[in-house]
Amino acid sequence: MNGGIAVLIGAGLRSRRRGGLVATFAVLVLAAIALAIGLVVARQGAPLLDAAANDANVAHLVLYGDGDAIADVSREADVVASSGPFDAVGGIELLLSGETVPIEATALDSPDIEVNHPPIRSGRWAMGNDEIVLDYSLSGDLGIDVGDAVTLRLAGAELTFSVVGTAVNFTDCLYPQCEPGRTWVTQAGLARFDAGERIYSVGYLRFDDAASADPFVERQAAAGVAGIEGTNSWLDTRGDFLTIDRVFGAFVAAFGVFVLVVAAVIIAGSTAMRIVTERRNIALMGAIGSTPRQIMAALLLENLVLGAVAGVVGWLVAGFLAPTFQIGIGRTLGPQDPSWSGLGLVVCLGVTVVLLSAATIVSARRAARRPVTEVLRDVPPGRVSWLNRHASRLPGPLSLLGAQEAASQPARSGLAALAIAVAVIGGVVSVGFISAIDLVTSEAERSGDPWDVALIPGSAAPARVEQALDDTPGVDHWFSSVERRSTYRDGAFLSVATGGDPQAAAYRIVEGRPLRAPGEAIVGYGFMQRFDVSVGDRIEFLAGTNPISVDVVGWYRDTEDSGEILRYRVEDLVAADPGVIPEVYSVTVAHGSDPAAVGAALAEAVGPDARSEVLDTGRDDLEPLMFVLRAIVLVLFVTAGVNLLSTLLTASRESAKRIGVEKALGFTPGQLTAQGAVAGTMLGAAAVIAGIPIGLLVFRVLADAVSNGIGVGPGWLPAPGVVQLAIVAALAIGLSAALGALAERRVAIRPAAELVRGE
Beta pairing, strands 99-107 & 181-185: parallel
Q: Are residues 257 and 325 in the same domain?
A: yes
Per-residue pLDDT averaged across 171-200, rounded? Answer: 87
pLDDT digits (tens, 9 = 90+) for 408-458: 566 666 767 777 887 888 888 888 888 887 777 777 777 778 888 889 887
The yes-or-no verdict on residue 725 having pLDDT over 60 is yes
Q: What is the pLDDT of residues 43-57, one digit of tens each?
A: 666 777 888 888 889
Arithmetic mean of pLDDT over the chain: 79
Q: Classify residue 393 by burial, with Cβ atoms within 10 Å: 0-12, 13-18, 19+.
A: exposed
User: How many structural domains compose the chain?
Assistant: 4
Q: What was the pLDDT predicted at 513?
A: 94
Q: Which of 454, 475, 458, 453 is nearest to 607 (CA)?
A: 458
Contact 677, 744 (CB under 8 A): yes
Q: Is residue 644 domain-shared with residue 669, that is, in the same domain?
A: yes
CA distance 336 to 44: 10
Residues 272 and 416 occupy one common structural domain: no
Q: Looking at the structure, tell me whether residues 77 and 51 fall in a common domain.
A: no
Which helix (H) or strand (E) segment holds residue 560: the answer is none
In percent, the amount of the chain with pLDDT more than 90 equals 26
Q: Which residues pair with 134 in a beta bridge?
A: 166, 183
In this structure, the answer to whether residues 360 and 310 fall within a common structural domain is: yes
Q: Are strands 509-512 and 199-206 parallel, antiparallel or unpaired?
A: unpaired
Segments forming the whole domain that contains residue 400: 392-446+621-759
Looking at the domain assignment, is residue 232 inside a domain?
Answer: yes
The answer to whether position 157 is within a domain reads yes
What's the pLDDT band for 130 if we cut at 50, 70, 90?
very high
Predicted local distance difference test score (pLDDT) of residue 145: 92
Same domain (yes/no): 457, 598: yes
| 477 and 598 share one domain | yes
Lowest pLDDT segment from 212-216, 247-251, 584-588 = 247-251
**Which burial class, exposed, middle or buried, applies to 321 when counting CB atoms under 10 A from its CB (0-12, 13-18, 19+)?**
middle
CA gap 577, 484 in Å, rounded: 12
Asked if the model's pLDDT at residue 18 lies above 60, the reply is no
Evaluate whether residue 220 is within a structural domain: no
Asked if 522 and 709 touch (Cβ cutoff 8 Å), the reply is no
Question: Which of 249-263, 416-430, 695-709 has the least mean pLDDT?
Answer: 249-263
Residue 377 burial by Cβ neighbours in a 10 Å radius (0-12, 13-18, 19+) = exposed
Q: With a cut of 50, say whether residue 394 has pLDDT above it.
A: no
Q: Residues near 489 by Cβ (< 8 Å), separated by ≥ 6? A: 531
Cα-to-chain-centroid distance, residue 588? 29
Structure confidence at residue 285 as a pLDDT band (50, 70, 90)? low
Does the residue 290 lie in any domain? yes
Domain limit, last residue, from 554, 581, 614: 614
Q: Which of 614, 635, 652 is the last residue of a domain?
A: 614
Instruction: Give yes or no: residues 65 and 131 share one domain.
Output: yes
Rg over CA atoms, the chain: 33
Q: Is 258 exposed, middle or buried (0-12, 13-18, 19+ CB in 10 A)?
A: buried
| Helices of type H across 377-461 | 386-391, 396-398, 404-407, 410-442
When pLDDT is cut at 50, 70 and 90, the band that residue 759 belongs to is very low
Amino acid making up residue 661: V
Q: Which residue type occupies 89? A: V
**Maximum Cα–Cα distance across the chain:** 101
Does residue 216 form part of some domain?
Answer: no
Confidence of residue 1 (pLDDT cuts 50, 70, 90): very low
Higher confidence at residue 314 or residue 496?
496
Band the pLDDT of 688: cuts 50, 70, 90: very high
What is the tens place of the pLDDT at every residue in 223-245? 778 888 778 888 878 877 776 66
Per-residue pLDDT tens over the stretch 407-421:
556 666 676 777 788
Instruction: Residue 242: count other Cβ atoms within 10 Å of its Cβ.
Output: 21
Q: Are 563 and 645 members of one domain?
A: no
The pTM of this model reads 0.69
Q: What is the pLDDT of residue 509?
A: 93
Asked if the structure places residue 213 within a domain, the reply is no
Q: Cβ-count burial of 102 within 10 angstroms (0-12 exposed, 13-18 middle, 19+ buried)?
A: middle
284 pLDDT exceeds 50? Answer: yes
Task: State yes or no: pLDDT of 279 exceeds 80.
Answer: no
Within-domain flag for 25: yes
Say yes or no to pLDDT of 100 above 70. yes
Judge if 82 and 38 occupy the same domain. Answer: no
Tell me the per-residue pLDDT of 472-488, one tens digit each, with 9 for 90 and over. Answer: 999 999 999 998 878 88
User: Do residues 562 and 674 both lie within one domain?
Assistant: no
Q: Is 214 part of any domain? A: no
Q: Tell me the C-alpha distance between 745 and 515, whole Å.
A: 67
Indicate whether 682 pLDDT > 70: yes
Q: Is 113 in the same domain as 193?
A: yes
8 A C-beta contact, residue 168 and residue 119: yes
pLDDT of residue 385: 47
Closest CA to 231 of 212, 255, 246: 212
Q: Which of 614, 630, 658 is the last residue of a domain?
A: 614
